[in-house]
Structure 1
Amino acid sequence: MRRILEGLKTIIKIGIGFPVYYISIFFPKRKDLAVIGSSLGRHFADNSKYYYIDYYSKERNDLNLVWVSKNRNVVKELNSKGLPAEFLYSYIGIYITLRASKAYISHQLGDINGALIGGSKIIQLWHGMPLRKIGYGGDWTDKGLSGKIKLFISKWLPYAYYMKCDVLMAPCKKAKDNYVEPFSKSFRNNKIKDNIVLSQQPRTFCFDDTFKLYKNFFPEAEMLLELRNTYKNIISWLPTQRKQFNKTIIDIIKDSGLDLEKMNAFCKNSNSLFVIKVHFLDFNLLNDITQEFKNILIYPYSDPYPLLKFTNVLITDYSSVFFDFLLLNRPIIFMCHDLEEYADKVEFYYDFEGLDIGTICKSWKNTLKVMSNILENKDDFVEKRKQKLKMFNFVLNYDPV
C-alpha cells in the first residue's frame, strides 16, 4: 500500500510539474537574484545555512540571496533578523523562485522545488561525504523496470529527479572521484568531472575558533555553553538513518540493546552528558522515553554542527558526520551493532573497518568500556586520525559559485 501511495504521489508530482518546469525554463531571470534552501524545505540547516550566514556576514551586494522554505516559522525567524526569506508556496515565493538565476540546495531538488528552478543554475552544496554508495550505482541502477523508469525520469523529466544539479561541491579529491558515478545522471551536460568543484563544506566553518555562534542565528548557543559549564564531557551519539530497513531511532535503540538506565548511570558517575542527535525525520520520537534521565538529552535542534563544536566524544556508525569531525581530531567511537547486516545491504566507498580512526564496537557494553578509557585520556587514535586527515586533504577554503 505504501509503495502504491508513493507511486501515485510521484505520478501527480510529474504531471503537475511538467508544465511548471517548462514555464520556469522560459521565465525571465534576474542575474542578481538567487534562492537557497535545505532539508526538503523544512529547516534552516546544513551547508545551505552556513553558506547563507557567511554570505550575509560579508559586505556583498552583487547577489540578492533569498532563503525559500516550506516552513513558515523559518521564514518568520529570518525575516525578524532583517534577512531575505520567503514562504515557497506564496505568490511572492513562487515569483522569486521563478525569477532566480541560481538555486542553492544541500539535499535534493525538494529543498526548493524542482519544477520551479528548471531555468536556474542549480548548485548542489551536498550534505556530507558519504561512507556508503549513493545515487546511481548505490541507491538505484538502470536494471529492471524501476531502474529504467528512473533513468527515463533523470533524462527527460529532470525536475522530478532528486539529484539533478549543474554544479556539485566536493570537500576533497577522494570525494570528487567517488561522486562521479552517483551523480553521473545529474548534470545537463556530460562533463561530469568538470561539474564537480572542490570546495570546503560551509558547515565546517562552525569548527573554526573564529566562527561565532551568534544567538540570532544559533538559539542553541546559550544551551550549549551552559552544558559545557555543567558537565565535564559531552558525548554525542549521531546514528545514521536506517531508511533501507524501514527502522526508526526507537528500533535502533532496541536492536542495539542500548540500556538508557545504564548509560545514564555511566554519565552521572563521569559527570558526562549523553546527547542523542537523530535525523530530522526521526526528530519527535524520543522525548517521552528519556525525560526521566538527567544525564541524557535528546538534542532539540536540527543542526548538529554547533553540538559537534562542543562535543568531546562522538559516537556514530555509518554517518558521514565523522569525516567532518576528523577536522577537530577528537575521539570517535563507531557503535555498529548491525555492521554485517548493513554492509550486506549497502556498498561502501571505503574500507570501513580499515579506516582506523576509532574503535568499532558491536555492543553498548564494549562501547562503555572504550568510552571509559577515553575519558581517562587513553585515546589510541590521536596520531592515526592526524594521518587520515592528511590523507584525505580536505579543502579548507571556498569561493561562492
Structure 2
Amino acid sequence: MPQIAPVTFAAGNAKKLLALPGYGLGALASIVVPRRRDLWVFGSGPGVGEGALALYRLVRRENPALTLLWLARDERDLAAAADLGIPAVLKSSRRGLFATLRARVIVVTHGFGDANRYGLRGGFVVQLWHGIPLKRINLDSPATLRTRLLPGSVVVRRMLRLMYRTAARSIDIMPAASEVSAARLRTAFDLPAHRVVVTGDPRDDLLVAGDETDRNVAARALLFAQLGIDDTGRRVVLYAPTWRDGEVDPGIPSAAEWRAIVALLEASDSTLVLRPHPHGVGDYAAGLALSDHVVLLDSARCTDVTPVLPAVDALITDYSSIAYDFSLLGRPIIFLAPDVDAYTASRGLYVDYDSFSGGTQKSTWGELLAVLAAADTDKAVRAVLVEHAASLAASHHAFHDGENTARVYRQITTRLKEHE
C-alpha cells in the first residue's frame, strides 16, 4: 500500500503560496459574477457534518425558499450528501467555483478550502470553526507559519502572516461557544470583537437537546452501525488523540501495554474505540489484532465524531478539543499526555495544561488504566473526573439548551441586513 504523506502546516502553507495567482483570478471573477440572494453554500473539511450540517438542516427547515448547496470534497462526500437528501457539487469543479462565486452566504468549519477558496471574495462568510481551541491556532501559534518553501526565510513567514490576516478579514461572523473561546478566536484570526459572537457551537446541540435516554440510544445505534458490528452492550471507552502536525501519536501503546489494556477491557466488559485524528499518524493494528474489545472508528467510517459521543461512557484524550465537547455529557475524561512539555513548546497552549486536565493527566497507559479501573470501584476517583468535566462545561459553554444553531441563524439573518 502506498504511503500517504502526512498533513502538516509546512505542506499546507506551501500550497497556499503557490495558489496566489488563483486567488487573484478569483478576486477578478467576483467583480463580474453577481451573487444570488437566495443561494447559500456549505462545506466542512472532514466531510458532510460538523456545525455546517447542523446549520444546513435548520436553514432548510426555517427558510425553504432558499437554495442550499453542499460543497463536497470528493465522490465519497457527494454520495454521503445524496444519502441525506442534500444537493451537492464538487467544490473543486467548475460548478463548485461558480456556486461559491454566486452564493450570498458561504458556511465553513475549518478553513476557506471547505468551499472553493477562489470564489469567496464578496460573499458573506460564516466561519463556524470546529471546537474550542486549547492549542494555539492560526496567528497565535508559530507552528501555523511553517512552510516547505524557503523554510528559513523571514520574508516568507511575514508573507504567510499577512496572508492569514488578510484572509481572516473575509470572515463576517464567527460563532463561539463562550467568551473564553471567543477571546481565543479573536486573537487567532485577528478579528474585531463584534465579528466573534457568543452563540454556542451548533454541532454541540445534539449533545444536550431532547431526552438523554433517546440521545444515548440513537448514538449507540449510529456508533455500531459505523463500526459495522453488532452492539454487544459493553461499556464504551473512546480514545481520541489530537493531530500532531505530521508526527506519530506518542500515545500508541506498546505490546505490553496493549495486553494490559485488553485485560482491563475484558474484565470490565468494555470496548475501546480508537478514533485517530483524520490527519493523525500511527499504527494501532497490534491492539486491533489482539482482541475484539478494541475497534477502530477512523474518519473513513465516521466523518464527524460528535453525534456518537452520547454513546461513550468515558473519554481518553490528550490536547483535543473533543474534551470540551464531551464535558457537556458530564462523564469521566482521562488525559493521556506523554509529551506534554514537548507539545506545549512546539505548538503552544492557551492555558496551562494542568488547568485543562485538572491536574489528572497521566504519561503512560499503565497509570491511565489504574485510573480507569479505579473509576469503576472508587466513588471518590470517579467524582474527581466527573467534577472536572462539569467544570470544563460550565466555564467553556455559555449555553446548554440545544439552541446554539438557532442563535447562529438569527445572528446571520440580522447581520445580512446590516451587511446590505
- TM-score, normalization by structure 1: 0.84
Structure 2: 5+ residue stretches without partners: 147-152, 413-420
Q: How many equivalent residue pairs?
A: 384
Contact 1:332 1:359 (8 Å CA) reproduced: no
Per-residue deviation, residues 14-61 of structure 1 (Å, max 9, x unmatched): 12231122212441001111111011xx511222122223433x2422
Cα distance between partner residues in 2 of 1:306 and 1:258: 33
Aligned to 1:93: 96
State the partner residue of 2:149. none
Identity of aligned residues (%): 22
- Whether the aligned pair in 2 keeps the contact of 1:170 and 1:197 (CA below 8 Å) is yes
Q: Equivalent residue of 1:308, what SS?
A: helix
What is the match of residue 352 of structure 1?
A: 353
> Equivalent residue for 1:132?
135
Assess, with a 3 A threshold, how the Cα gap between structure 1 residues 77 and 3 changes in structure 2: closer, same or farther.
Answer: closer
Q: Out of 24-33 and 271-280, give the one that drifted further.
A: 24-33
Q: How many angstroms apart in 1 are the aligned matches of 2:133 and 2:350?
A: 8
Aligned to 2:264: 266
In structure 2, distance between residues paired with 1:218 and 1:122: 35
Contact 1:109 1:164 in 2 (8 A): no
Whole-angstrom CA distance in 2 between matches of 1:111 and 1:377:
46
From 18, 21, 24, give the equivalent of 1:15.
Answer: 21
Are the aligned partners of 1:261 and 1:293 in contact in 2 as well (CA < 8 Å)?
no
1:15-54 equivalence runs, <5 A: 15-39=21-45, 42-54=46-58
| Unpaired stretches in structure 1, ≥5 consecutive residues | none
Aligned to 2:241: 239
Task: Report the CA distance shift for 1:86/1:258 in structure 2 as closer, same or farther (over 3 A).
Answer: farther
Could you list the per-position Cα deviations for residues 180-199 of structure 1 after superposition, in whole angstroms to 9, with x for gaps in the alignment? 21110xx5xxxx10110111
Q: 1:288 to 1:321 in 2, by over 3 A?
A: same
Counterpart among 202, 223, 226 of residue 225 in structure 2: 223
- Contact 2:288–2:296 (CA<8 Å) still a contact in 1? yes
1:85, distance to aligned residue in structure 2 (A): 1.4
Offset at residue 371 of structure 1 (A): 0.2
Q: Measured at CA, do residues 292 and 69 of structure 1 come closer, stay the same or move farther in structure 2, by a change above 3 Å?
A: same
1:261, CA displacement in angstroms? Answer: 2.6
Q: Per-residue deviation at 1:321?
A: 1.0
Q: Secondary structure at the match of 1:182?
A: helix
Q: Distance in 2 between matches of 1:73 and 1:22?
A: 31
Deviation string for 1:274-295 (max 9, x for gaps)? 1110111238954586244211
Partner of 2:154: 144
Deviation at 1:3, TM superposition (A): 9.8
Residue aligning to 1:391: 395
C-alpha contact (below 8 Å) 1:332/1:358 kept by paired residues:
no
3-state SS of paired residue (1:119): coil
TM normalised by structure 2 equals 0.81
Tell me how far apart the structure 1 counterparts of residues 358 and 170 of structure 2 sit (CA, whole Å): 33
Indicate the residue corresponding to 2:172 in structure 1. Answer: 166
Q: Is the 8 A contact 1:224 1:307 kept in 2?
A: no
Q: Does 1:84 align with 2:87?
A: yes
> In structure 1, what is the Cα distance between the partners aligned to 2:12 and 2:329?
41
Letter in 1 for 2:308: L
> For residue 112 of structure 1, what is the aligned residue in structure 2?
115
Q: Which residue of 2 aligns with 1:208?
A: 208
TM-superposed deviation, 1:167: 1.3
Question: Deviation at 1:162?
Answer: 7.5
C-alpha distance in structure 2 between counterparts of 1:380 and 1:216, whole Å: 27
CA RMSD of aligned residues (A): 3.4
* Distance apart, 1:375 and its partner CA: 2.2
Q: Which residue of 2 aligns with 1:199?
A: 199
Structure number with the higher helix fraction is 2
